[in-house]
Amino acid sequence: MSATEYIVRTKDVVKVFTLGEEKLRALDGVNVDIRRGEYISIMGPSGSGKSTLFNAIGGLDKPDSGSVFINDVDMAQLDAGELAYLRCHTIGYIFQTFNLITVMTALENVTLPTIFAGTPTDDGIARGMELLDIVGLGHRYHHKPSQLSGGQQQRVAIARSLANNPSIILADEPTGNLDSKTGEEIIALLRRLNKEQGVTIITATHDYKMVDVSDRVIWIRDGKVEKIENRADIQLSIGGMAGEAEHLAGAAGVDAVG
C-alpha cells in the first residue's frame, strides 16, 4: 500500500451519545479505507449512523475513540488552525439541509470559502461565477436561497463545496430533499465532477440511484460496517432503477428506505 493510496481511512471509530441514562453507540468501531478518486456511497437505514460518520470523517465532530486519517494525517492531531485549513481546502461539504446562508445571494454563498482562503475578491467572484455556470445557475447568481428551488439550492451548495478545489467532497444525503428527477441531475453532476476532476466523493444516502454511479457501497447498520460491496458485485445494469431498488433491498436484506 503506497502512502497516499488512501485519502480517507477510519480506524475503530466510536461515537457515543449519552441520552440521559442511556448510552447510544452511534458509531461502534467503524473501519473504512477510501481510495483517492473513488465514488463511495454510504448506505444504511435511518439512524444507522451515516450522518455521525459524515461528521467524523469531515472533522465536524470528534469521535470518542478511534482515529480518522485524511491523507494519512490523524485528524485528532490537528490544531484548530490546521483543522480549519482542512475544512477550507481539502474537504467540500454538502448537507441534506443545504446550509446555505440565507441572507446571502448564490454568488456570495459560493464565494464565501474563497474569502476564508484569502483569495483576492475579484478572483473569488470569478471563481464563484465559473462554479455557478458549472452547476447551471450562472444566470441566478444574484438570487437568495429563498428565491431558489430545493434542487437549485443544492446546486449552489455543490458549487460552494468546490470553491477551493477540494480533493474530497463529503455529501450527507445530497438528494434527500429533492424530487427524483432533480436528484438524478445532482447525482449526474457529482459523477461528472468525480470523473472529470478526480474529486473523491463520499455520500451518505438513502437513494438507490446513487448506487448506480458508485465505485463501492458501504452498508452500515447500528453503527457498524455491515459489508462493503464493489459496484461490479452489485451487478446493476444502468437504468431501470425502479426494479433494481426492490431487488437491492431484498438482496441486501436492509430496510434502507427508512
Residue 64 DSSP class = S
C-beta separation of 34 from 202 below 8 A: yes
Least Å distance between CB 79 and Mg ion?
A: 28
Residue 103, C-alpha cell as written in the block: 441572507
Least Å distance between CB 163 and ligand ATP?
A: 25
- Taken as a whole, the chain contains a residue count of 258
Residues 25-64 that bind ligand ATP (CB under 6 A): 26, 44, 46-52
Closer residue to ligand ATP (CB): 61 or 246 = 61
Closer residue to another protein (CB): 85 or 249 = 85
User: 179 is in the binding site of which of ligand ATP, Mg ion, another protein, none (Cβ under 5 to 8 A by kind)?
Assistant: none
Give the Cα separation of 234 and 215 in Å (integer): 10
Give the Cα separation of 242 and 236 in Å (integer): 12
Least Å distance between CB 235 and Mg ion?
A: 27
Give the Cα separation of 17 and 254 in Å (integer): 24
CA atoms within 13 A on the CB side of 209: 20
Task: List contacts with another protein (CB under 8 A).
Answer: 3-4, 55, 58, 60-62, 71-74, 77-85, 87-89, 93, 95, 99-101, 103-104, 108, 112-113, 115-118, 160, 163-164
Biggest distance spanned by C-alpha atoms of the chain: 54
Sites of contact with Mg ion (CB under 5 A): 50-51
Sites of contact with ligand ATP (CB under 6 A): 17, 19, 24, 26, 44, 46-52
